[in-house]
Amino acid sequence: MEAKRGRKPTDNPPAVRMSASLSPEIYIALQAIAKRKKVSLAWVIRDAAEKYIGDQTRYPEERH
């Protein structure tokens, strides 16, 4: 039997899919960042979300 291709199994829980609407300007800017870093658009969005959560955790009094 041939081995399946794709990602190697990890101990991490499966990712949750979501959908979000972005303005064309933000979408174009994110695409440019992804291209410059040679990563996927999804990677850029995940990275931004992780940084945002970290900032909100460090400075909770500034939440909106």
- What does the chain look like in DSSP terms, one character per residue? -PPPPSPPP-SSPPPPP------HHHHHHHHHHHHHHTS-HHHHHHHHHHHHHHHHHH-GGG--
**For residue 5, is pLDDT > 70?**
no
Q: What is the pLDDT of residues 7-45, one digit of tens each?
A: 677 788 888 999 999 999 999 999 999 999 999 999 999
pLDDT at 54: 92
**For residue 53, is pLDDT > 70?**
yes
The more confidently predicted of residues 3 and 56 is: 56
